Amino acid sequence: MRATTVIAVLKDGKGAMACDGQVTMNEAVLKRGARKIRRLYQDRVLAGFAGSGADCLTLLERLEEKLNTYGGNLPRAAIELAKMWRTDKVLRQLDALLLAMDTSHIF
């Protein structure tokens, strides 16, 4: 199964994130209207995902853990997640894209 397409725009401290909400298996559409954008860390961070659904949820959980560890500091949480993603044998195999944003940054 795959979940695809997420985009974000940030300008002057305001941002928007959108996704297609579609889950497919090969060429067949299994679900329309899937929630692929989540609010994290006291609703201060938006995170959207594309790729394999289960892999995306794994990365989303890890990002949420890092945000809690670093007090909602998105740049620090994103960098630490990227380090973990590159070095962990299991995470390296994940087929997913994670997009996260707050009022100042997009990662």
Mean pLDDT, the chain, integer? 89
Catalytic residue among 4, 58, 87, 103: 4
Mean pLDDT of 77-106: 93
Q: In this predicted structure, what is the pLDDT of residue 2?
A: 53
pLDDT digits (tens, 9 = 90+) for 41-83: 999 999 999 888 788 889 999 999 999 999 999 999 999 999 9
Could you tell me which residue, 18 or 24, shows the higher pLDDT? 18
Q: In this predicted structure, what is the pLDDT of residue 34?
A: 81
**2-101: CATH class:** alpha beta
Whether 4 sits among the annotated catalytic residues: the reply is yes
In the numeric block, the tokens 């007090």 are attached to 71
Q: In this predicted structure, what is the pLDDT of residue 4?
A: 66
